[in-house]
Amino acid sequence: MARPRHPRRTFLVALAVCFAVLAACKPRGDTPAGPRATRVLFIGNSYTYYNNLPRVLEALAASASPPLQLETRAVVAGGARLKTHWDDEAALEALREGGWDYVILQEQSTLGGLLVDGRLDINDPERVFFPYARKFHAEAEKRGARTVLSLTWSRRRAPEAQALLNHAFLSLGRELKATVVPMGPAWLTVREQHPDLGLYLADGSHPTPAGTYLAACTLYAALFGRSPEGLTSIVHGVPTPDGEPRGSETTLVSLPEPTARLLQQTAWRSVEALKARVDAVEPLPPRTLPSLPAGAGGRWDTLPGVWKGELRFYSEEAGQSPATMRLELSPDGERYNGVLRITFADGRGEGPFDVRAERSPNGTLRFTAPFSGNDPGEVRYEAVMSGDGRLVGTAAQEDGRSLDRMLGSWRLSR
C-alpha cells in the first residue's frame, strides 16, 4: 500500500524547483558587469585628428598589461580655436551628455592667430585661450569630468616659441588644477637629441605618424600614471576620429621597435619631469612687439609728398611680406589727404586706397585703410617722424570674429 503524500513536503519541493528555474532563466544583464571603460572626450583641431590621435591612444591602452578599456569621442575641426568650439556648441552638447572621465582641450597651435611683422607668433593667452578654456573647464566640472590641457608643440621654424606655450599652459593648469600633458616639451627633447627623427610633416606644423605616436604616449603617461614603454607600436584605424567617412581602415602608425621605445621613454620622462615641477611656472620669456620709437621728432612741414619703403605686416608664409608701401600725402587744413598703395613680395598688390590722416598733439600721424582678409575691416596705421626724416610706423588689424591679430612695422623715406 502506498504511503500518503505529505502536503508540506510537496509544497517545499515545488518551491525549490521554481527557484532553480528562475535562477537558470536570470537575464544576462543582471550578471556582475566588468570594469567600466574610461571615457575621454577630445575637443580640438587638426593636431588631434591627423593620424587619429584618439584611436592611437585607445590602441596603446588596449595593449597594456592588464589592458585598459578606453572609449573616446572627438569634436574636431581644422584650425579651430576653443572659442570656435564654444560658439559652434557641438562640443558643448557632447560634453553636456555627461559620463566623461576626461575632457581634453587642445587649443589652436599659436593660441589663436597672431602675425608679428609677417611671421606667426604665440598670441596673448588671455585674449582667446584662457577665457574659453575656463568656460569648458567649468562645464566639465559640473559633470564630474577632469580637464586635461594638451600642451602642444611649437612650429618647426620657431622652437623658441615652446617656452611661451609652456608658460601659458602651465599657468592655466595650476589655476584650474587641471592635468597638463607635456607633448610640446617631449617633442622639443626629440628634436634636440634626435634631429633625424621626423615628427613634422613638410608644412612644419602637423604631425607625422611618429609625431602623433609621441603625443599619444605622452597623453597615456599623463592620464594613467604609467610608462608607455613596451606598448604597441602598430596601430590600425580610420584616418580621422570625427566620424566623417574619410576613408576605410588603414595603418595609422607603424614604427620600428627601437624608434617606438625611444618615443615611449621620452614621453614618460617628460611627464615625470613635469610632475617634479608642477608648481614651478617659469617666468614669461621676454618678447618684443612692434611699437613706435620714443622721443622721435622731425620737421612735419616736410610731410606732404610721396613716401615709399618697406611694410612688414602681411604673411611671409603666403609670399606677401615684406611688402612695398607707397604713401602720397597732401595738406588739407589740419589734416592730410592721402593715397596708399601696397605691393606684396610676390608682385600682387592692394589699393590704391584713399586715406584721411591726422596728426595728434604728441606728433603721431594716424590713418586707416581697408583690409581685405577673411573678415573685411580696417588696418590702423600710426607713425612718427624720426630724427633722420623718415616715417617710422606700426600697423594693426583684428578679426572681429576669431580675435586673430596682425601687428606689423613700416619705414618710409621721401
Q: Which segment, 15-24, 53-62, 382-391, is predicted with the most confidence on average?
A: 53-62
Task: Check pLDDT > 50 for residue 10.
Answer: no
Burial of 1 from C-beta contacts in 10 A (0-12 / 13-18 / 19+): exposed
pLDDT tens per residue across span 107-146:
999 999 899 999 999 999 999 999 999 999 999 999 999 9
Average pLDDT (39-48) is 97
State the pTM of this model: 0.85
CA 35: distance to chain centroid?
33
Q: pLDDT-derived band of residue 275, with 50, 70 and 90 as boundaries?
A: confident
Average pLDDT (332-357) is 94
Task: Check pLDDT > 50 for residue 5.
Answer: no
Q: What residues are paired with 149 via a beta bridge?
A: 105, 180
Average pLDDT (201-206) is 96
Q: Where are the CATH 2.40.128.120 domain residues in the chain?
A: 300-413
Lowest mean pLDDT among 185-199, 215-229, 270-284, 315-329: 270-284
pLDDT for res 66 = 94
Distance CA 203, CA 149 (A): 24
Q: At what angle do helices 183-193 and 257-276 cross, to 10 degrees?
A: 130
Angle at 286 between CA 127 and CA 182, to 5 degrees: 65
Lowest mean pLDDT among 2-6, 46-50, 136-140, 348-352: 2-6
- Helix and strand numbers (H, E) in the chain are 10, 17
- % of the chain exceeding 70 in pLDDT: 87
pLDDT for res 21 = 37
pLDDT for res 374 = 58
pLDDT for res 333 = 87
Task: Check pLDDT > 60 for residue 147.
Answer: yes
Average pLDDT (88-110) is 97
Residue 151 contacts residue 182 (beta carbons within 8 Å): yes
pLDDT for res 24 = 41
pLDDT for res 9 = 46
Distance CA 389, CA 65 (A): 73
Task: Check pLDDT > 50 for residue 28.
Answer: no
The CATH number, out of the four listed (2.30.29.30, 3.20.20.150, 3.90.1150.10, 3.40.50.1110), of the domain defined by the range 38-276: 3.40.50.1110
Kindly report the CATH number that applies to the domain delimited by 300-413: 2.40.128.120
- Annotate 327-360 with DSSP letters as a single string: EEEEEETTEEEEEEEEE-TTS-EEEEEEEEEEE-
Average pLDDT of the chain, as a whole number: 88
Q: pLDDT-derived band of residue 402, with 50, 70 and 90 as boundaries?
A: confident
Instruction: For residue 271, give the C-alpha cell.
Output: 611627464
* Residue 191: how many other CB atoms lie within 10 Å: 17
Q: At what angle do helices 53-62 and 209-224 cross, to 10 degrees?
A: 60
Burial 239-257 (b: 16+ CB within 10 A, else e): bbbbeeeeeeeeebbebee
Average pLDDT (90-118) is 96
Task: Check pLDDT > 80 for residue 2.
Answer: no
Q: Where are the CATH 3.40.50.1110 domain residues in the chain?
A: 38-276
pLDDT for res 177 = 95
pLDDT for res 161 = 93
pLDDT for res 22 = 35
Q: Which residues fall within 8 angstroms of residue 333, CB to CB, at 6 or more apart?
A: none
Average pLDDT (47-60) is 97
Q: What residues are paired with 236 via a beta bridge?
A: 251
pLDDT for res 297 = 65
